[in-house]
Amino acid sequence: MKIRFLLPVLAVVYLAIPYLWGGNNYVMSLLVAAFIIAGVALAWALLANLGGMVSFGHSAFFGVGAYLSALLCINYRLPVLAGILMGGIGAAVASIAMLPALRLRGPYFALAVLAYANIFKILAMEFKGITEGAAGVTNIPALPTVMGFDFSSKLGTYLVIVTIVLLFTGSYHLIRVSHYGAALKAMHDSEDATRVVGVNSTLLKAMMLFVSAFMTGVVGAVNAHYINFIDPDYAFDLGWTLLPMVAVVFGGYRTLMGPLVGAVGIFMLDQLVFKALIGTGHQIMLGAVLAVMVLFSPDGLVPLIGDKWKRIRRAQA
């Protein structure tokens, strides 16, 4: 991202939003939820855009990250931030189980990963001695207070999740502009063409899976320490895959900002507008918005805005 775009974005998320709504717990809780979805959406888009894999299994990484961090912090008194990091690493390790699925393509990969995700949910349900089973894990330690600032508050959690999401965005950008990113993009349509020039395509795809799983695990862990309670149905809910997917398609999965704009935009639209208009079943409006977006701009909102902006600039020139 160019610096002239980055600075205003940083000013808005770190200064304007906390200044305007920092004391409003309702708005802050909405933003925390939106950025949690944005984090997963970004990780999902990285795997889809660079790895060429459409995953229905990100709820597994989300759940593993949440459980691992929560259990390590409760049972081994690990500091929360270390627990969050371990949650990410744990999710990346869990993704090793999905490596055999890398041989599959398209819908076969998607279905295989969906099955894997269910296995993790069943494991969390059945290993009651470790996970407390269906009863779930309670009293998960909250985010810490550092130098008098309470990061477990709505504003504190917002700053933590925004920072994590921005760091992930930067990492995604660095991968995308590297030679690895170029090779990954090239692999989508012509994998053999990349393999005959020395690209180990399986390794690159596996690396993207690890990175995506790590990111999702970290976000899952932050969420666990934010709400202080998880159970298998919640932590491994398919919604942790589907809502980010909708956000990514809405925002534009091939762009860096698409997943973020999509997640924050669609979640806030749903919670602030659609919920006010239709109390029950407001999610139906999300489906309608997504259908309109796919029909009129299949590449998503960010490319649509980009095109319009270019046209305006051209007309002015």
Partner 1 sequence: MLKLESINVRFGGLAALQDVSLLVDSEDMVGLVGPNGAGKTTLFNVISGLVRPTGGRVLFNNIDVLRKPLYARARMGIGRTFQIPQPMHELTVRENLLVAQRFGTGSVNQSKIDEILDFVRLSDKSDRNAATELALTELKALEVAKALAIQPKLLLLDEVLSGLETAGKRQFMQMLSDLHWRFDVGILIIEHDIETISSVCKRVCVLNFGKLIADGTADAVFKDPEVIKSYTGESGA
Residues that bind partner 1 (CB under 8 A): 179, 182-183, 185-186, 188-190, 192-201
By beta-carbon proximity to partner 1, the closer residue of 128 and 188 is 188
Given 3-state DSSP classes, what are the helix, strand and coil percentages for the chain, each rounded to the nearest 5?
80, 0, 20
Q: How far is the CB of 298 from partner 1 (least distance, A)?
A: 17
Number of helical H runs and strand E runs in the chain? 17, 2
The nearer residue to partner 1, 192 or 277, going by C-beta atoms, is: 192
Nearer residue to partner 1 within complex by CB, 148 or 198: 198
CA atoms within 13 A on the CB side of 238: 9
Instruction: Name 37's Cβ contacts closer than 8 Å, sequence gap at least 6.
Output: 243, 244, 247, 263, 267
**In the complex, least distance from residue 105 CB atom to partner 1, rounded to whole angstroms:** 16
| Minimum CB distance to partner 1, residue 187 (Å) | 8
Report the residue number, 189 or 315, with the smaller CB distance to partner 1: 189
CB of 75 or CB of 190, closer to partner 1: 190
d(CA 47, CA 107): 15
∠ CA(78), CA(80), CA(82), 5° rounding?
Answer: 65
Provide, rounded to whole angstroms, the least separation between the CB of residue 45 and partner 1. 16
Cβ pair 264, 95 in contact under 8 A: no
Rounded to the nearest whole angstrom, what is the least distance from the CB of residue 177 to partner 1 in the complex?
A: 11
